[in-house]
A and B are shown apart, each in its own frame.
Chain A
């Protein structure tokens, strides 16, 4: 347990030393620049490896980048490891998204903008090289196995449901038009791994040796399995890919060491020269070997964390894992032996923190995914298998770095439980307030562990989990795949109001569940909606079954992920998602998620009140107004807006919310996962998916205008509509269960004013305690003043440093799309006078 003295000591540290201030300033000023080398090296290696088994081929296309892509060591930095030579390099692999790369380059010519939210530059020559590279993949394009099978089995109409068509389904891979030269789900099917404690502690050399020994064994003993099976050889090949990857990762670190020595030779400042030599020594030792001290542990974590992002820049999430648990043993030993001071550790951790922000990818600059965010989640605190609090001084240092460095990411997630020192919670909230955005956030330690226990995981493994994405979680023992498929509930509701026809195109997309104008009771509308939902859920499940089956057939296994799960991978030759874990059945992926439960329930509440209870308007009239996007019917829209809304602890609206939530869960979960036979968990994530979802949906009876964003998050109320304060907001949220969810967010806005004294911080802590006791999962306070936001919207140039987190991730406010800015401003300012 963290003590008062420790908190006081950490608060006094100066993270923003002159060194870090300089590094931060340079980073802030840097322009995102597209780098072409990684993409070219990928293509080159892939071509050269033609004929190799696919796992090896994939590993080689990764290894060559580690061996040859440009690297850099920036002036003054203590923790190294560069994705590109640029301080803000856009790391692109054309093969994984050739059409998008071409599209992006096309836009460059016009305005050199990547999207409405971000700009990046690219050298003329590099642009040409990248275009050539992308064109190669467009020309090369292997057979579209998935597209063909889906057409064959589900028909052409199935494609109408995709994200780039009617948008009944949403997900990075659920597009009618082909995206990648690889099978579409490649990045998803390798899971969302994170650096595990055991990998850092073991070192890659040892992992390589273990893999080699196993390979030798397979070769020597020949066919141990049935002679009809190629399993043993497949395993051999995968281990070979792992060995290759271990070597390349070690080389990557050694290249940094070499570079450090080279710079040191020319360095005139003796203290910097000393630092560079220390860096060299460090990179020569890790991640190949077990770290010998805090600095090496940090450097090793840095390399392993960035290794994941480089392998697949498009991987939607890239968690750091439990940073405090990884680093603490090294830190405390150094501290006790007098080898390091707290101040030095804080600066080193600050350097490490800033390094995570050195990369951008196509995904971060895509408005529709998670604008500005790469989600390198850092998880701290929690309890061990005996229920003992494991928070330590690194947990504190992480928070202090967050508070002082003030950069948008990483997001810090505190595994909250009642046994924590209340003073620590107060301190965390203080950091939350001073940071200015919604960071750190809190997640329910007990619930996270219970979810694994529910699935038969032993206690010792169940407690070992970290957060990922926005906001899910995965266990060290098996990680988990990324939820790729969301049902757009708001769209499905719109289709229901139109008897299954999409009003945008006039096409019959859903079932004919009747013309709502003829309905005489709300129950009929409920029935029609749930029938439609059931119908589309079945479609999505069939899609998933076919898509993933083909993907498993044609996609490589990532050797890097194998290294992260080396014990199991060496034993089985498989990744966790292919059964290579202690708990093969645990890998039931959340193949289905949903967004828009609040839109649907608030719409139903408005219909209940205005159409059925008070008969102020007929259903036909309402639908006509929706079709006209409220044109000439502003008064009706206002009535709809003023109808009861979820999030106010008001039973009229909340009971509808609870019904829609429960019934949706029931429908989504009633079909077992086709690969494990288990009941699937569902995902109600946040990020900016709600903006895309909204683009396909006309006006809705909750008062929403056509094609504007739907509601974000799982239990977060409609922005600006939760007017009864934080306790009402939490009471509403706790009326539903999030236990069988793979991810969910709950965002709440608090003004600084309600956190400006120790007493008030303790009162806010009660909100967390009550939320968690009621079964809540994730709670994030976005702390900011509305004046500040309005001003930032008008004068973005003056508010570059304003950080806001939306639905489980942070971004710079001024980088957000205007729609998102407006939404944040609209969110009720709880506690404002």
Chain B
């Protein structure tokens, strides 16, 4: 049986597609976006996170760690990520749930039985399931299977993708997808690389595959002041969208909700100084998008 690496299944998701949805978050992403608010989604393997507010400094984990990777510092426990093998022993023994293993292998059946629980809400609200991540297409076989099974049960499917995946992966999944949320972060290859560690050629090629497939598409643009939000940058993005024959755009203003997760993973937050875009900035972008006959809204 095919399994997927899942790090969260979130019910009553109301920002990830039409209606009330259950979002399945798949672990692993080829991009390394500096503003990523789900850093725990990036690595494909399960990882230990620690939540300091829950920690009682009891030291149980320190004794239990076979690699001696945990020490008690001034600010609570610290995990030496070079020594840590993510074996999960510490999370097993932690009495306070302060240590947690993020990411688990799940069968399609198991995910589906969780998704099915809200079938009534999907029916009433026109919702369904959304595959997000990470990059869900990194696990295309799993997502294709999940979506196919959902389709059989009349559950609407939404793919939330960075666009960075093989064309084959896209084709596999698109066959069972009702709507695609497709990210465009920047039109310029170099700038894109600075922002995400990868150029955008693959993404732009895949966009054409998606368009040709005839599946509904909504373009999602993260709005990052100073990185991709100048009038020129957004105009280029708007042109690209219009020229691709698409017209629905969602702006996702940058937010800092992810900061805490970096601490939990013992990682540096790469964008200390970035601030969320001002409402006027967003309004200006919407107006500009409208000029290109694009139907654009800010999702907050």
B11 near A769 with CB under 8 A, answer: no
Judged by a CB distance under 8 angstroms, whether A770 is at the interface is yes
A763 near B19 with CB under 8 A, answer: yes
Question: How many B residues have CB within 8 A of the partner chain?
Answer: 20
Of B70-78, B119-127, B144-152, B171-179, the segment with at least 4 beta carbons within 8 Å of chain A is B119-127
CB under 8 Å from chain A, chain B span 33-91 = 37, 56
Judged by a CB distance under 8 angstroms, whether A724 is at the interface is yes
CA distance A322 to B149 in the complex (A): 49
CA distance A639 to B95 in the complex (A): 7
Judged by a CB distance under 8 angstroms, whether A47 is at the interface is no
CB under 8 Å from chain A, chain B span 96-112 = 96-97
A766 near B96 with CB under 8 A, answer: no
Closest residue to A730 on the B side, CB-wise?
Answer: B121
Residues in A neighbouring B95, C-beta threshold 8 A = 634-635, 638-639
B117 near A731 with CB under 8 A, answer: yes
Of A35-43, A753-761, A794-802, the segment with at least 4 beta carbons within 8 Å of chain B is A753-761
Residues in B neighbouring A756, C-beta threshold 8 A = 300
B14 near A642 with CB under 8 A, answer: no
CB under 8 Å from chain B, chain A span 206-254 = none
Closest residue to A753 on the B side, CB-wise?
Answer: B300
> Given A638, A762, A767, which contacts B96 in the complex, CB threshold below 8 Å?
A638
Residues in A neighbouring B255, C-beta threshold 8 A = 833
A727 near B96 with CB under 8 A, answer: no
Q: Known contacts A642-B97, A757-B300; decide if A726 and B12 are in contact (CB<8 Å).
A: yes
CB distance from B36 to the nearest CB of A (A): 14
B120 near A770 with CB under 8 A, answer: yes
Judged by a CB distance under 8 angstroms, whether A728 is at the interface is yes
Residues in A neighbouring B117, C-beta threshold 8 A = 649, 727-728, 731
A728 near B97 with CB under 8 A, answer: no
Q: Known contacts A756-B300, A766-B20; decide if A728 and B11 are in contact (CB<8 Å).
A: yes
CA distance A763 to B14 in the complex (A): 7
Q: Per-residue CB proximity of A547-584 to B under 8 Å, as 1/0?
A: 00000000000000000000000000000000000000
Judged by a CB distance under 8 angstroms, whether B118 is at the interface is yes
Q: Per-residue CB proximity of A629-661 to B under 8 Å, as 1/0?
A: 000001100110010000001000000000000
> Given B12, B19, B257, which contacts A830 in the complex, CB threshold below 8 Å?
B12
Residues in A neighbouring B14, C-beta threshold 8 A = 754, 759-760, 763, 831
Judged by a CB distance under 8 angstroms, whether A725 is at the interface is yes
B121 near A766 with CB under 8 A, answer: yes
CB distance from A100 to the nearest CB of B (A): 42
> Given B19, B37, B121, which contacts A770 in the complex, CB threshold below 8 Å?
B121
A763 near B11 with CB under 8 A, answer: no
Number of A-B contacts (CB under 8 A): 53
Judged by a CB distance under 8 angstroms, whether B244 is at the interface is no
What class of interface size applies to chain A in its complex with B? 20 to 34
B97 near A763 with CB under 8 A, answer: no
> Given A642, A727, A759, which contacts B121 in the complex, CB threshold below 8 Å?
A727
A725 near B12 with CB under 8 A, answer: yes
Q: Per-residue CB proximity of A121-151 to B under 8 Å, as 1/0?
A: 0000000000000000000000000000000
CB distance from B269 to the nearest CB of A (A): 16
CB under 8 Å from chain A, chain B span 211-259 = 255, 257
CA distance A262 to B20 in the complex (A): 61
> Given A727, A759, A770, A773, which contacts B11 in the complex, CB threshold below 8 Å?
A727
A725 near B10 with CB under 8 A, answer: yes
> Given A759, A831, A833, which contacts B12 in the complex, CB threshold below 8 Å?
A831
Residues in A neighbouring B300, C-beta threshold 8 A = 756-757
Provide a sorted-by-A list of 17 A–B residue pairs whose CB atoms are within 8 angstroms.
A638-B96, A638-B97, A642-B97, A649-B117, A725-B12, A727-B118, A728-B117, A754-B14, A762-B125, A763-B20, A763-B125, A766-B124, A766-B125, A767-B12, A767-B121, A831-B12, A833-B255
Chain A residues close to B by CB (< 8 Å): 634-635, 638-639, 642, 649, 724-728, 731, 754, 756-757, 759-760, 762-763, 766-767, 769-770, 773, 830-831, 833
Q: Ordered nearest first, which 3 A-B pairs have the shortest CB separation? A: A725-B12, A635-B95, A833-B257
Chain B residues close to A by CB (< 8 Å): 10-12, 14, 19-20, 37, 56, 95-97, 117-118, 120-121, 124-125, 255, 257, 300
Known contacts A634-B95, A726-B12, A831-B14; 19 additional CB pairs below 8 A are: A634-B56, A635-B95, A638-B95, A638-B97, A724-B11, A725-B11, A727-B11, A727-B12, A727-B117, A731-B118, A754-B14, A756-B300, A763-B14, A763-B125, A766-B121, A766-B125, A769-B124, A773-B120, A831-B12
